Amino acid sequence: LAVRLANSGAAAQARLAARSDSGNPVRVIQTSPDFMILPSIDESVSVGAVPDRGLERFPQGTVLHVSIQPENAATTGGDIATLAPRDVSGLAFVDLASVAPDANGKLAITTRLAVEDSSLPPVAAAARIASRGVLGADHVSASKELKVRCVVDASTSMATAFARNAVGACGDIVTGMAAVLGDESSIEFVVPAPSFTTFQTATAGSLGDTLATVPPTGLGIAPDLRAALAAPVSGRTLTVVVTDGIGSLPVLATTPDRPIVTLSVSDAAADTMVGDAAANCPVSVATDIRAHLGAHAEAVTTIVTGLLAPLKQQGVLG
């Protein structure tokens, strides 16, 4: 089996690597960092890519393009499998495909890169990249997937956050995280104003736009978020609370299957929070926070790391 790798990006440097599930050495013929032949495969083998030339992580903007084919495909007309391009910025390793012999002695190839990344708004795309960097993986394993939902504070003190598009930016960040933790095309959200009604579902990439404006019911005094946070969930679910202060909210019990994190649209340090982790999205750095973060991916990375790194350390994300 022959594997070819191409990478794009101003500073992109990548090298193919192979490892067996058993830990046994894998026989490979590698004539260059971007070309590898697996002459014989008698157990499950993972083919991946790592940063080259001494880099610990792939630089920002690194996109990998991979093709897999039988070694003699060029002369026999065998099929060539071209994987979907993948932005691997911030990762230290990326699994490209798993190859294993089936019951008939043929090679079965499985990959997460069969489908290209969906198109997301700039902040959401940056959050997706940052989430992969925190996890060190393209996507969480199936057993660790989380449905993502968002609860937005609609108190009068949130007026500045709405006016400066910070809440819309938070919606984008939630979308990007959902793309790696579960499915960005199905994000539940609610803006209790003045009280909790029911969760709605945002379509793919639309949450940021939906939260960019004040809800039709307007902002109120001390809307009750308790009911929204206590609403029943089905399966593993991450709840992101977008607020400028938790006020009198009680400390809520969280579990590995129901983590809660706070995304604070405030210039104050997120030293008090609801749930397992917190991060700040400052509102005074620009008049349009969504546009500002779209031009400063490093700021998005800081926010996402604050929200997800504690969950990874706790084993919630694998």
Residues 72 and 163 in one domain: no
User: For residues 281 and 289, what is the distance between their CA atoms, to the nearest angstrom?
Assistant: 8
Mean pLDDT within 123-128: 95
Nearest to 188 by CA among 147, 154, 153: 147
User: What confidence score (pLDDT) does residue 274 get?
Assistant: 62
Kindly report, residue by residue over 208-238, the tens digit of the pLDDT: 999 999 988 889 887 778 888 888 888 999 9
Q: Which of 110, 135, 161 is the last residue of a domain?
A: 110
Residues 174 and 289 in one domain: yes
User: For residues 190 and 171, what is the distance between their CA atoms, to the nearest angstrom?
Assistant: 11
- Which CATH number does the domain housing residue 204 bear? 3.40.50
Residues 184 and 279 in one domain: yes
What is the residue range of 58's domain? 2-110
Residues 59 and 142 in one domain: no
User: What confidence score (pLDDT) does residue 252 get?
Assistant: 65
Q: Does a cis peptide bond (omega within 30 degrees of 0) precede residue 250?
A: no
Q: Give the pLDDT band of residue 172 (cuts 50, 70, 90).
A: very high
User: For residues 81 and 76, what is the distance between their CA atoms, to the nearest angstrom?
Assistant: 15
Structure pTM?
0.81
107 CB burial (10 A radius; 0-12, 13-18, 19+) = middle
Mean pLDDT within 309-315: 93
Q: With pLDDT > 90 as the criterion, what percentage of the chain qualifies?
A: 43
Kindly report, residue by residue over 242-274, the tens digit of the pLDDT: 998 766 555 666 788 999 999 999 876 555 556
Q: With pLDDT > 70 as the criterion, what percentage of the chain qualifies?
A: 90
> Distances from the Cα of 95 to the Cαs of 7, 46, 126, 154, 307, in angstroms?
15, 7, 20, 41, 24
pLDDT at 289 over 90: yes
> Distances from the Cα of 172 to the Cαs of 162, 241, 248, 291, 310, in angstroms?
14, 14, 27, 11, 20
Contact assessment for residue 273 and residue 266, using Cβ atoms and an 8 Å cutoff: no
User: What confidence score (pLDDT) does residue 256 get?
Assistant: 86
Report the run of H or E that residue 313 belongs to, with start and end. Answer: helix 297-313
Task: Enter the DSSP assignment of 255.
Answer: B
pLDDT at 281 over 80: yes
Q: Give the pLDDT band of residue 179 (cuts 50, 70, 90).
A: very high
Residues 226 and 184 in one domain: yes
CA geometry: angle 114, 120, 121, nearest 5 deg: 165
Asked if residue 318 belongs to a domain, the reply is no
pLDDT at 76 over 50: no
Residues 128 and 264 in one domain: yes
The domain tally of the chain equals: 2
Q: Which of the pair, 103 or 47, is modelled with greater confidence?
A: 47
Residues 137 and 18 in one domain: no
Q: Give the pLDDT band of residue 75 (cuts 50, 70, 90).
A: very low
